[in-house]
Homo-oligomer: A and B are copies of this chain.
Amino acid sequence: MQNIEDLNTFIRIVEAGSISAAAEQLNTVKSAVSQRLSRLESRLGVQLIQRTTRTQSLTDAGHQYYHSAIEIVEKMAAAEAGVKNQNQALAGRIKLAVPQSFGLMHMSQPLRFFNQQHPEVVLNVDFNDRQVDLLHEGFDLAVRVSQLVDSNLVAKKIAQTHMILCASEKYLQRHGRPKTPNDLRQGHYKLKYAQAKNNWEFKDQQGKTHLINLPTAMIANNGEFMCDAAIDGQGLVLLPDFICSAAIHRGQLVRLLPDYICQNPLNIYAIYPPNKHLPRRVRLLIEFLANYFAGYEFL
């Protein structure tokens, strides 16, 4: 089968009227053009152009092939442009998965912003806490809150959160107001996030770590529910700032041990398949989110 470049060269030779002229138009030397034509003729087993050093004329076969060649080269270019545009045009769908709590509380606004800025992009947002399978379910992007990250997926960190220990005034009045991690060891109860470890880690300003294991008052796998339970006075809770900040701001919860770093910080990632050629709109959205959350304060 032929090389497209040879076809293109043949067309140029015909239209330019000579091999030398074609070479110039193709930004190469005449010997290369001559070789391409010879090669094409050899592979076809047909003389395409009857030529002397001064004149050239298409043979019957050449005439016929010329028209086919034009069609092929045009189709090729069209096919290429088709998919290239598809990638570079913003227009298109982005299917993304976001965690339910974080998504509803903090991604609603940026996603609406993005949609206003790029109305030709259709966002298809799936709020879902299960670990969706990006590749098999056709997701372009997922937002994940976690410390660890799947292998074989690319993760770009877009925000960092902190874990905050808090309780309601009602709880504190009943169980006391701890000032150090050690104060927790007596008469306190925790609300446990289902997948979290049993131990709480607190790091003081000297960098020393304090491991605390409290009796559990309740277990759940939903941050907002736990936040509500804490507001209700059910126990101490260690929550990411993006969940509890608003309640603290409203005075429903009180932040405890503010001078200690609680647990390891959680990162928020944009996760996507390791495509060499990510559609532009997806790249753009990732960038937009990273910018949006840079210096963002959760309240």
* Residues in chain A within 8 A of chain B (CB atoms): 1-5, 8, 38, 41-42, 44-48, 50, 52, 55, 57, 60-61, 64-65, 68-69, 71-73, 75-80, 82-84, 86-88, 92, 135-136, 138, 273, 275-279
Contact = CB atoms under 8 A, between A and B. Distances in A.
Contacts of A8: 1
Contacts of A60: 86, 92
Nearest to A69: B79
Given A55-B136, A65-B79, A277 B4 contact: no
Given A65-B83, A69-B79, A86-B64, A47 B1 contact: no
11 contacts: A1-B8, A2-B4, A2-B80, A42-B276, A47-B277, A52-B135, A55-B136, A61-B83, A68-B75, A71-B75, A75-B75
B83 A78 contact: no
A243 to B, nearest CB: 34
Q: Which 5 A-B pairs have the closest CB atoms?
A: A68-B79, A61-B83, A47-B275, A46-B87, A47-B277
Contacts of A1: 4-5, 8, 73, 76-77, 80
| This protein's copies in its complex | 2
A57 B84 CA distance: 19
A10 to B, nearest CB: 11
A148 B176 CA distance: 123
Contacts of A72: 72, 75-76, 79
Contacts of A75: 68, 71-72, 75
A48 to B, nearest CB: 8
Given A1-B8, A50-B273, A275-B47, A78 B87 contact: no
A211 to B, nearest CB: 40
A275 B49 CA distance: 10
Nearest to A50: B135
A55 B73 CA distance: 33
A42 B84 CA distance: 11
A192 to B, nearest CB: 36
A68 B71 CA distance: 13
Nearest to A51: B135
